[in-house]
């Protein structure tokens, strides 16, 4: 692990991932457990429940990656840095007002897709039911957009 991202989502993390992959190789991103490797989701759920990362399991899960940005890395950057002390920490930033507007927009969409019918049903039909269940479980039933933007 050469780069550990500590910047919030909606601060250019997808573009940063693309750049890091050009420079270093595979880079972990919030889309990894949600879309690309859904089998990783349980690892992160357990880490949240236990409130720490299991060092050996973490290194095994991240063995093929040279860097990571976005969720879930931002919540664990200190523990990841302890596991990979030679890694550089990369902080992506954005104008706060523009970040807030962008975050409200995306979290409103995520909340709509995961909490309201017929969208939640549609998510299940297209194979993203586990994602919806995960979002509902981790938020305690509170829509993400309500937390940030109400």
pLDDT in tens, 117-128: 666 656 666 666
| Residue 81 and residue 101 in one domain | no
| Residue 81 and residue 36 in one domain | yes
| Residue 76 and residue 108 in one domain | no
Radius of gyration of the chain (CA): 16
Mean pLDDT of 110-117: 62
| Residue 115 and residue 51 in one domain | no
Q: Max Cα separation, the chain? A: 47
Give the CA-trace dihedral at 113, 114, 119, 122, to 10 degrees: 110
Mean pLDDT of 50-78: 96
| Residue 131 and residue 83 in one domain | no
| Residue 62 and residue 78 in one domain | yes
Last residue of a domain, one of 90, 106, 126: 90
Q: Which residues, 6 or more positions from 61, have their beta carbon under 8 angstroms from its beta carbon?
A: 40, 43
Is this prediction's pTM over 0.85?
no
| Residue 107 and residue 85 in one domain | no
70: left (phi over 0), alpha (psi -120 to 50) or beta: left
| Residue 133 and residue 83 in one domain | no
Q: Which domain holds residue 42?
A: 3-90
- Per-residue pLDDT at 102: 87
| Residue 7 and residue 65 in one domain | yes
Q: Nearest to residue 10, comparing CAs of 94, 124, 136? A: 94
For the chain, what is the domain count? 2
Last residue of a domain, one of 55, 72, 90: 90
- Per-residue pLDDT at 48: 86
Mean pLDDT of 99-122: 71
Six-digit token pair at 30? 């919030």
| Residue 50 and residue 123 in one domain | no
| Residue 72 and residue 110 in one domain | no
pLDDT higher than threshold 70 for residue 143: no
What's the pLDDT band for 134 if we cut at 50, 70, 90?
A: low
């Amino acid at each position: 692990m050469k780069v550990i991202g500590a910047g919030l989502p909606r601060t250019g993390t997808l573009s940063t991932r693309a750049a890091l992959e050009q420079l270093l190789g595979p880079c972990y991103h919030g889309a990894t457990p949600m879309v690309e490797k859904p089998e990783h989701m349980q690892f992160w759920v357990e880490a949240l429940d236990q409130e720490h990362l299991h060092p050996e399991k973490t290194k095994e899960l991240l063995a093929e990656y040279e860097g990571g940005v976005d969720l879930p890395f931002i919540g664990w950057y200190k523990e990841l840095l302890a596991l990979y002390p030679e890694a550089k920490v990369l902080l992506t930033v954005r104008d706060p007002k523009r970040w807030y507007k962008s975050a409200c927009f995306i979290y409103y969409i995520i909340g709509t897709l995961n909490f309201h019918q017929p969208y939640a049903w549609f998510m299940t039909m297209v194979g993203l039911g586990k994602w919806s269940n995960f979002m509902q479980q981790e938020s305690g039933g509170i829509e993400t957009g309500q937390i940030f933007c109400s």
